[in-house]
C-alpha cells in the first residue's frame, strides 16, 4: 500500500510474523479448555515468516487474578511447528496467548557458523555486526548474570586482535542464551486472541460417585430415613472406595398431584412422592424436607462425610411442584395455559403432573436467573462443592454459561455434573458452556466396536479438551437391558468397564445388590425408589461390595487410572473381548485391562501387549500382575492368551512391570 508519492503508509495492525493453529483451543478459542491443578498445559502452534531468519517465541500466560503476564519458552519442533508448556498451579482460570519475534542474534549466529564452516576468511564486517547486537542487548539487560556475561564478552572482543578469538567469543553458547533474554524483540507479533483454560481441582477428573436417596437409608420398613441414617451409612460407602456421595433432592416434596408407587397417578396418604417434585408449604429449593431433618442436621452430614474423605454432591433440579412458593410468588416464571392454569412437565409419552417446568423465556428472566444463582450459593455456604444438574439440556445454554461462570468466579472449586442424556451436539455444547463433567452414552454402549469408537471420540479427539465423561453404570431412571438380562456377571463386567475406561465413574445404590427387575418392556426399575422408600439389606448374599471396593482400590493405587486422556485400545482376536490400557507419561505405571463383554459365555482371546509403547523389548522378561486376583505371571513377547469366565472373572486388570534378574526381584512401575 502506498500514497501518491510512492511512500509506504503505515499498515494498521501490521503482523510481521504468522501465528496460527494454536492448540489447545476449543472452536478457535471461543470456549475454554479444561485441565486440573498441577497439570502442564502443553501448547502448540505454527509460527513462521518470510525469508530465512530464525524466530523465537514464548507462551504468555496469567491467572485470572494476576495483572502481570508470565512467560514460558516455545521450541521449534519441525516444519514451523512449535511447542512448549507451563504448569497450572492454582484452581482458577488462566489466560494464555503466544508472542513471536525475529531472533536477530540467533540468525547472525546461524549465518556466522555457516561462513566459518565454509572457510570464509574476511569476517570483519560480520564481527562488527555481532558486537553491535551484543552492545544493544547489554544496554537493555538488567544487572545480573546476563549483564556480567555480556560485559565480559564485549571487553574481550574489544581487546582481542584475533579474528578467530572474536568469532569464538561471539559464538559462545552461553552468550546466545543471554542474548535471547536481553536482545530487542524485533518484529514482535502477538497471536490475535487470548485463550482460556479452566483449571479445576483434581476431583473434577478423578472420582468414584455413589448415588443414594437419604430417605431410604433407614433400617425399618415404613419409616422415613433421615440425615442421621445417611450418616450411619457413610462408612459402608467409604469401604466400597467411593469418593462422592450424591444425594437425590433433599427438599420438601409437594402434595398436589403427588405420584404413587411406580409413577401411579394416585398417591396414598403415606406415599412420599418423588423428590424431584420440589417445593411445599415448608419451602422450596433452599429448604430441607422436614422428615430428613434440619439444615443443621444436613451440615453434620457434610462434615461427617468430610471426616471420612468423602464429598457430598447435591442434585440441582430447576423445576417445581405445584406447591412450591415460587408458584405463588412468581407465577410469571412458569408456562401459563390459555385458561390461566400452569402447564405441567411432559416428555411424551411420560407425564409429570406433579412437576411444573420453569419458563426461561419469561419477561422476568433476570429475576429468575438471580434467584437460581442464589440457590446454588446458599448450598455452597453449607459446605457443598459438587452439584449434579438435572436435565440441563432443557434450559438455555446462555443461562448455563452465565450461572456456571458466576459461581466459579466466586468459588472456583465448585464442580458441576451435567445429567444430559440427549443429542450429541447438545451434550457437547453444555460441556463447552462450562459443565465440569458430563453423563455419557456409556450406559447403552455394549459391543466392542461401538465402545472403541465412542471412547476414542471421548478421550482422543478435540472433545477431550472440554468434555469429561462420568460413566454411570445405572441411574434411578435407567436400568440398562444388559443388567436386566445378564445377572451378576453383567454387573461385574459393567463395573470393571466403568471403573477403568474413564477416570470418573458412578453407580446408583442397589447396583451392589444386583437389583435388576424392570417395569416390563422398559428401562425403568419396578418399585422405583423415585416413588417409594426402600429398605435394603446391604449385606445380603451375593452382593458386590467387595468387588466394587477392589476396583476402587485398584483405581486409587495406580496413577495411570487417574488419567482421562491416556486411554488406548489394543488388539485382541475375540470380538467379545475388549482390550485397552492406560499408562503414565513416564511409563512408570502401566495398566492393561481385558474385559469379556458377553455375560453369558466364557471367551478366550490372544491379546497383543503394546511392548513398544511400554518400553519393553520383545525378548525381555516382564511380569503381568493381575490385580483383581493378585496373581502374578512372568512372560516374554507381546502375545498373551487370556480366558475370561463371566461367572467368576469377567475382567482382568494387569499391572505391567519389568523383571530385574540381577536383583532377583521386581521393579514395579509405581
Superfamily of 568-667 according to CATH: Golgi alpha-mannosidase II (2.60.40.1180)
pLDDT tens for residues 310-329? 999 999 999 999 999 999 99
Q: What does pTM read for this prediction?
A: 0.94
450 included as an active-site residue: no
Q: How confident is the model at residue 4, as a pLDDT?
A: 46
Give the pLDDT band of residue 655 (cuts 50, 70, 90): very high
Mean pLDDT of 103-129: 94
What angle in degrees, to the nearest 10, is found between the helix axes of 227-239 and 295-307? 10
Q: Return d(Cα 458, Cα 87) in angstroms, integer.
A: 24
Q: How confident is the model at residue 670, as a pLDDT?
A: 37
Q: How confident is the model at residue 280, as a pLDDT?
A: 98
- For residue 129, give the C-alpha cell: 555486526
85, 72 Cβ separation under 8 angstroms: yes
Q: How confident is the model at residue 29, as a pLDDT?
A: 96
567, 582 Cβ separation under 8 angstroms: yes
Mean pLDDT of 347-376: 94
pLDDT at residue 662 greater than cutoff 50: no
Q: Return d(Cα 593, Cα 501) in angstroms, integer.
A: 9
pLDDT tens for residues 117-139? 999 999 999 999 999 999 999 99
Mean pLDDT of 16-20: 95
DSSP class of residue 369 equals H
Do the domains 106-182 and 568-667 sit in the same CATH topology, yes or no? no
pLDDT at residue 2 greater than cutoff 90: no
Going by CATH, does the domain composed of 106-182 fall within 1.10.150?
no
Q: How confident is the model at residue 340, as a pLDDT?
A: 87
Q: What is the percent of the chain where pLDDT is above 70?
A: 96
pLDDT tens for residues 447-463? 999 999 999 999 999 99
Active site residue: 419, 512, 598, 626, which one?
419
Give the pLDDT band of residue 668 (cuts 50, 70, 90): very low
Q: How confident is the model at residue 143, as a pLDDT?
A: 82
pLDDT at residue 370 greater than cutoff 50: yes
Residue among 463, 517, 497 at smallest CA distance from 595: 497
Mean pLDDT of 550-570: 98
pLDDT tens for residues 519-557? 999 999 999 999 999 999 999 999 999 999 999 999 999
Q: Which residue has the higher pLDDT, 346 or 508?
A: 508
Dihedral angle computed from the Cα positions of residues 47, 50, 54 and 60, in that order, rounded to the nearest 10 degrees: -30
Active site residue: 99, 311, 390, 529, which one?
390
pLDDT at residue 47 greater than cutoff 80: yes
pLDDT at residue 48 greater than cutoff 80: yes
Q: Return d(Cα 47, Cα 651) in angstroms, integer.
A: 47
Q: How confident is the model at residue 351, as a pLDDT?
A: 84
Q: How confident is the model at residue 173, as a pLDDT?
A: 93
pLDDT tens for residues 89-99? 999 999 999 99
Q: Return d(Cα 247, Cα 390) in angstroms, integer.
A: 12
pLDDT tens for residues 463-486? 999 999 999 999 999 999 999 999
Going by CATH, does the domain composed of 1-103+192-200 fall within 1.10.10.10?
no
Q: How confident is the model at residue 385, as a pLDDT?
A: 98
Mean pLDDT of 625-634: 97
What average pLDDT is seen over the chain?
95
Q: Which residues contact 54 (CB under 8 A, 6 or more apart)?
A: 102, 103, 106, 107, 110
Q: How confident is the model at residue 348, as a pLDDT?
A: 83
Mean pLDDT of 283-296: 98
Mean pLDDT of 479-506: 98
pLDDT tens for residues 51-86? 999 999 999 999 999 999 999 999 999 999 999 999
Going by CATH, does the domain composed of 201-250+288-318+358-557 fall within 3.90.1170.30?
no
DSSP symbols for 142-207: PTTHHHHHHHHHHHHHHH---HHHHHHHHT-HHHHHHHHHHS--EEEEE-SS-EEEEEE-GGGTSE
User: What are the domain boundaries of the chain?
Assistant: 1-103+192-200, 106-182, 201-250+288-318+358-557, 568-667
Q: Which residue has the higher pLDDT, 550 or 348?
A: 550
649 included as an active-site residue: no
Q: How confident is the model at residue 142, as a pLDDT?
A: 83
Mean pLDDT of 386-409: 98
Amino acid at each position: 500500500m502506498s500514497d501518491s508519492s510512492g511512500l509506504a503508509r503505515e499498515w494498521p495492525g501490521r503482523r510481521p510474523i504468522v501465528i496460527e493453529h494454536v492448540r489447545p483451543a476449543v472452536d478457535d478459542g471461543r470456549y475454554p479448555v479444561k485441565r486440573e491443578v498441577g497439570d502442564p498445559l502443553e501448547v502448540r502452534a505454527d509460527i513462521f515468516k518470510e525469508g530465512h531468519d530464525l524466530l523465537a517465541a514464548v507462551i504468555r500466560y496469567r491467572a485470572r487474578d494476576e495483572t502481570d503476564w508470565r512467560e514460558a519458552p516455545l521450541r521449534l519442533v519441525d516444519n514451523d511447528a512449535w511447542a512448549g508448556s507451563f504448569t497450572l498451579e492454582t484452581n482458577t482460570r488462566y489466560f494464555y496467548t503466544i508472542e513471536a519475534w525475529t531472533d536477530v542474534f540467533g540468525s547472525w549466529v546461524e549465518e556466522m557458523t555457516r561462513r566459518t564452516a565454509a572457510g570464509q576468511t574476511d569476517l570483519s564486517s560480520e564481527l562488527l555486526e555481532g558486537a553491535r547486537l551484543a552492545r544493544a542487548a547489554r544496554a537493555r539487560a538488567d544487572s545480573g548474570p546476563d549483564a556480567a556475561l555480556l560485559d565480559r564478552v564485549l571487553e574481550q572482543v574489544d581487546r582481542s586482535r584475533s579474528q578467530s578469538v572474536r568469532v569464538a567469543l561471539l559464538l559462545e553458547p552461553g552468550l546466545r542464551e543471554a542474548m535471547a533474554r536481553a536482545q530487542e524483540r524485533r518484529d514482535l507479533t502477538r497471536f490475535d486472541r487470548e485463550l482460556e483454560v479452566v483449571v479445576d481441582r483434581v476431583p473434577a477428573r478423578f472420582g468414584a460417585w455413589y448415588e443414594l436417596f437419604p430417605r431410604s437409608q433407614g433400617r425399618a420398613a415404613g419409616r422415613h430415613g433421615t440425615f442421621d441414617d445417611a450418616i450411619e451409612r457413610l462408612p459402608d460407602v467409604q469401604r466400597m472406595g467411593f469418593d462422592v456421595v450424591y444425594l437425590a433432592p433433599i427438599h420438601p416434596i409437594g402434595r398436589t398431584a403427588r405420584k404413587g408407587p411406580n409413577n401411579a397417578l394416585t398417591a396414598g396418604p403415606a406415599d412420599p412422592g418423588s423428590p424431584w417434585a420440589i417445593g411445599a408449604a415448608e419451602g422450596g429449593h433452599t429448604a430441607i424436607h422436614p422428615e430428613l431433618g434440619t439444615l443443621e442436621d444436613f451440615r453434620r452430614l457434610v462434615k461427617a462425610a468430610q471426616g471420612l474423605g468423602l464429598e457430598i454432591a447435591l442434585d440441582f433440579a430447576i423445576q417445581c411442584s405445584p406447591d412450591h412458593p415460587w408458584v405463588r410468588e412468581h407465577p410469571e416464571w412458569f408456562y401459563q395455559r390459555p385458561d390461566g392454569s400452569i402447564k405441567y412437565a411432559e416428555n411424551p409419552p411420560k407425564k409429570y403432573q406433579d412437576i411444573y417446568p420453569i419458563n426461561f423465556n419469561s419477561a422476568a428472566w433476570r429475576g429468575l436467573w438471580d434467584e437460581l444463582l442464589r440457590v446454588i450459593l446458599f448450598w455452597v455456604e453449607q459446605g457443598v462443592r459438587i452439584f449434579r444438574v438435572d436435565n440441563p439440556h432443557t434450559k438455555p445454554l446462555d443461562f448455563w454459561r452465565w450461572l456456571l461462570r458466576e459461581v466459579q468466579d466466586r468459588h472456583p472449586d465448585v464442580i458441576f455434573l451435567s445429567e444430559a442424556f440427549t443429542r450429541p451436539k447438545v451434550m457437547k455444547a453444555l460441556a463447552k458452556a462450562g459443565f465440569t463433567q458430563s453423563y455419557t452414552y456409556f450406559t447403552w454402549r455394549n459391543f466392542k466396536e461401538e465402545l472403541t469408537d465412542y471412547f476414542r471420540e471421548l478421550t482422543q479427539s478435540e472433545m477431550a479438551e472440554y468434555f469429561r465423561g462420568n460413566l454411570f453404570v445405572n441411574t434411578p431412571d435407567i436400568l440398562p437391558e444388559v443388567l436386566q438380562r445378564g445377572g451378576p456377571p453383567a454387573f461385574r463386567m459393567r463395573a470393571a468397564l466403568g471403573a477403568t475406561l474413564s477416570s470418573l465413574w458412578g453407580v446408583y445404590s442397589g447396583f451392589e445388590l444386583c437389583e435388576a427387575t424392570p417395569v416390563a418392556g422398559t428401562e425403568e426399575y419396578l418399585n422405583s425408589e423415585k416413588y417409594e422408600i426402600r429398605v435394603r439389606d446391604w449385606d445380603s448374599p451375593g452382593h458386590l461390595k467387595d468387588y466394587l471396593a477392589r476396583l476402587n482400590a485398584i483405581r486409587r493405587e495406580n496413577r495411570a487410572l487417574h488419567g482421562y486422556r491416556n486411554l488406548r485400545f489394543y488388539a485382541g482376536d475375540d470380538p467379545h473381548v475388549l482390550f485397552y490400557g492406560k499408562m503414565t507419561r513416564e511409563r512408570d505405571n502401566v495398566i492393561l485391562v481385558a474385559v469379556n463383554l458377553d455375560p453369558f459365555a466364557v471367551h478366550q482371546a490372544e491379546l497383543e501387549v503394546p511392548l513398544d509403547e511400554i518400553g519393553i523389548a520383545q525378548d525381555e522378561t516382564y511380569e503381568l500382575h493381575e490385580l483383581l486376583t493378585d496373581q502374578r505371571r512372568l512372560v516374554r513377547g507381546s502375545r498373551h492368551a487370556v480366558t475370561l469366565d463371566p461367572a467368576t472373572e469377567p475382567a482382568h486388570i494387569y499391572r505391567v512391570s519389568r523383571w530385574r534378574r540381577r536383583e532377583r526381584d521386581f521393579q514395579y512401575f509405581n
